[in-house]
Amino acid sequence: MPADRFDVLHGSLALMILRTLDTLGPSHGYGLARRIEQISGGQFSLNQGTLYPALLKLEQEGWITSTWGSSDNNRRARFYAISRTGRKQLKAEAEKWSKTSQIVARFIDPTEDLA
């Protein structure tokens, strides 16, 4: 099922989008893609196309909104912004994520004794 393909990245990508929109403010898709690559320090090479389905899904869940606006060079572009429920979701997801990564880190960290 194609949906599975999408869901693999979905959790983390959604979190990145929400977080970026929260700090950056409203942005168009390209700006968002560049920003995510920048923040990840170029280590996370985003297949930029996958951003758009994720944006659409987030919008349908009501966590982000999109409006038409003008870009820097006066090109008509769709701008995405985080919504109030999106912020709540971001908070919840971020907590969940940091908890998960802490747990995973404990397994990976060689200083911890698993026995």
Partner 1 sequence: MTSLRGWLNRVVSAFRRQSLDDRLKDEIELHVEMATNENIARGMPPNEARRAAVRSFGGIVKTREAYRDAAGWPALDALWQDVRYAVRAYRRTPGFALVVVLTLALAIGANTAIFSLLNALVLRDLPVRDPATLVQVSTTTATQGESNLTFPMFRELSARQQVFSTVIGAWGNSRLTVSDGGRVTKGLVWAATGNVYEELGVRPEAGRLLVPGDMTVDPPSAESVAVLGNGFWRRHYGGDPSVVGRTISIDRAPFTVVGVAPPGFTGFGLVTEPDITIPLAATPLLSGGSPSMLATTASRSVRAIGRLKSGVTIAQARANLEAVWPAVREAALPPGYTGPRRSDFLSIRLDVTSGSNGNERSLRTRYVQPLIILLGIASLVLLIACTNVASLLLSRASVRRHEIGVRLALGASRWRVARQLITEGVLLSLAGAVFGITLSFWACREITDLVFEELLVPVVFDGRPDTTVIALTTAVAVAAGMFCSALPAWRGTRGTAMEALQAEGRTFSVSGRTGRVLVGAQLALSLVLLTTAGVLVRSLSELRSVKTGIERSDDVFVAYPDAAQPGAYDGLDNDAYYPQVLRRIEALPGVTRASVSLSKPGTGGMLREPVVRLGDTQDADGVPSARSAVAPGFFAAIGIPVLKGRDFEWRDNSRGHGVTILSQSLARQLFGESDPLGQRVQIGLDPSRNALEVVGVVADARLYDLRIADVLAAYTPALQDRDVNYKCFVIRGRNLSHASLKDAVESLRTEQLGNMVTLQYITERSLLLERLTAMMSSLFGSLVLLLAGVGLFGLMSYAVAQRRREIGIRMALGADRRRVVRDVVREGLTVTLAGLAAGIVAALATVRVVETLLFGVTPRDPLTLAAAAASLVAIAMLACAVPASRAARVDPMIALRGE
Binding residues (CB under 8 A) for partner 1: these are 1-3, 5-6, 10, 28-31, 33-34, 47-50, 52-54, 56-57, 60-62, 71, 73, 75, 77-78
Whether residue 29 contacts residue 52, with contact meaning beta carbons closer than 8 Å, is answered with yes
CB of 49 to partner 1, least distance (A): 4
CB of 70 to partner 1, least distance (A): 12
Residue closer to partner 1, measured from CB, 1 or 114: 1
Residues whose CB is less than 8 angstroms from the CB of residue 2 and which lie 6 or more positions away in sequence, other chains included: none
CB of 94 to partner 1, least distance (A): 15
CB of 75 to partner 1, least distance (A): 7
Residue closer to partner 1, measured from CB, 85 or 101: 85
* Cβ neighbours around 100 below 10 Å, total: 11
Residue closer to partner 1, measured from CB, 56 or 104: 56
Residues 43 and 40: their CA atoms lie apart, in Å, by 6
Residue closer to partner 1, measured from CB, 22 or 48: 48
Longest dimension (CA), the chain: 61
Return the structure tokens found at 4. 């599975």
Which uninterrupted H or E stretch holds 67?
strand 64-70
